[in-house]
Amino acid sequence: MNAAFVLARITLKRLVRGRVIWIALAISMLPILYALVMRRHAGSELFGFEIAALGATCPMLVGATLGDEIEDRTLTYLWSRPIKRWAVLVGKLLAIIPLAAAFSITSWLLCSLLVGGMPPLVTILALALCAKTLALLAATISTLAPKHGLAIAISYLLFFDFPLGGMPVSLRIVSITRQVGVASSLWNGMDHALGGFIALVVIATVLWLVALWRLRKLET
Amino acid sequence: MSGVSAPLVAESCSKWYGHVLGLADFTYTLTGGIVGLLGPNGAGKSTLIKLIAGLHAPSRGTLKVFGGDPFRDEEVRRRIGYAPEHEKTWDELTARELVTAMAELAGVPRANAAAAATTALGAMNMLDAADRRVRGFSKGMRQRTKLATAIAHDPQLVLLDEPLTGVDPIARVDIIERIRALASAGKTVIVSSHVLYEIEALTSEILVIHRGQVLAEGNVYEIRRLIDRHPHRIRVECDKPRAIASAIAGADHIARISFEPRAILVETRDPDRCYDEIAAAVLDGGIDVTDLASPDNNLGAVFEYLTGGGR
């Protein structure tokens, strides 16, 4: 586990010295513009914008740290070290998930204050879990297609996950964005929030297993 | 795992990438010192080094490093230092941060990692630039930093994949000295190159690899003799090509001389003597040389010759 913490520290340092983190921060703050314009007229769609922003920032941060590493073959440095391959993934995600979640939650808090008050705690938890699940989705896609990981992840969310979540079909249970909305209690009420959290945990676990399987097979 | 196991024992080790053969039926035992892997680009040198580094698992056969499996055994990888061929690294970090991180990831305790990095960077003559970001480094500095990452955790087996690629001549001499110093310090070093004289400068023990197969192994001088039997062309671009021709034409090793506009192309069976004689002719005749190169300084052509493809 020590290797994972070393990698998390290095990943964070690399991100802070790069450009992507600032672009991600700017995207995360975009919902604030909407809140500024709409003020008290803003509804639950504001939360949807936060999810959409996370749908862009998580793949960007993962692409800059894991996808590029696979593509540039710098992963060979890590594979040749006496560390487990899962530790590499954990290390990267330990840096990315809190960062993406912090950006999103800060933005959500500011938006909520602008439109009328503090947000419910459950919405903050939902955003944190959303950051985790979307980072895992992006990481899994990066291990499968490192060259186009960012584009595929964003396309997946934009053209599959979002539309699927809005359809009245049972398959929408696998829509991450929908389950985040459900978990937040803003879309389906508090009664369904727990179901949303459970669904997100299950989706994240499946993604984690696929990413690990892929990393074990990956040769650089 | 025995502490006295040979650094490398491979038995019928093969590696395929899908249908592409990377290494075929490699059998070899390495006991120590510096061993050079020589072969043209795409010959299988990097595949072999990656197998030893534990980045790949053999498709068939076995490959043991210090008696263990480097792909699966972390303790084996702890004893290996690896500098990959590619230039890319974590460019946002300084050399010191990069080497410290790599030392920590190789198992050096955090409290000792900075000191280990300083020692490794010092050994590679990089202390002056240690606190600069890798992004701004020249190729030579990148190579030195890579070498420092490979040795910071004091490994017993050091794998250097094309460590002299893109390095200027002065840095090349310095890096060669530093690699030799590693062997003098008791480390086993495996170094790959597609340039014969780079390997010659490092060691006399070489493995010649071509198309995934070991073509020859043993002493470099024997390989050199084989290669020198191959007619070697030297092209000199100068203002008086005919003056060079008349100075060297009578030598017994000259097979053929031809002329191009402002250049002479010499075919020789003794390149070392021929280079000396051309140099003497240039100095004696006050000839202005603008370029001197060998179209055969490419091992691919020589290997084609050695394997019969060029006959």
Residue B309 has what pLDDT? 53
pLDDT digits (tens, 9 = 90+) for A64-118: 888 888 887 888 888 899 998 899 999 999 999 999 999 999 999 999 999 888 8
CA distance B82 to A81: 9
**C-beta atoms of A82 and B75 within 8 A:** yes
Contacts of A10 in chain B (CB under 8 A): 90, 93, 97, 101
**C-beta atoms of B77 and A80 within 8 A:** yes
CA distance A8 to A87: 10
CB B53 within 8 A of CB B159: yes
CA distance B224 to B221: 5
Mean pLDDT of chain A: 90
Residue A44 has what pLDDT? 78
Q: Does B90 touch chain A (CB under 8 A)?
A: yes
Q: Would you tell me how many other CB atoms lie within 10 Å of the CB of residue A121?
A: 8
Sign of CA dihedral B166, B172, B177, B180: positive
CB A135 within 8 A of CB A99: no
CB B197 within 8 A of CB B233: no
Label residue B303 by pLDDT band (50, 70, 90). low
**C-beta atoms of B74 and A84 within 8 A:** yes
Residue B227 has what pLDDT? 66
Looking at this predicted complex, what is its ipTM?
0.85
pLDDT digits (tens, 9 = 90+) for B274-299: 888 998 999 999 999 888 877 665 55
**C-beta atoms of A79 and B55 within 8 A:** yes
The one-letter code for the residue type at B54 is: G
CA distance A137 to chain B (A): 24
Mean pLDDT of chain B: 87
Residue of chain A whose alpha carbon sits nearest to that of B79:
A82
Q: What is the average pLDDT across B159-184?
A: 87
**Residue of A75, A182, A80 whose CA lies nearest to A125:** A182
Residue among B74, B93, B101 minimizing CB distance to A82:
B74
Q: Where are the alpha helices (DSSP H) in chain A?
A: 2-17, 20-28, 30-38, 45-62, 68-71, 75-79, 85-115, 121-144, 149-156, 162-166, 176-183, 193-217
CA dihedral A17, A22, A24, A26 (to 10 degrees): 170
CA distance A123 to A208: 23
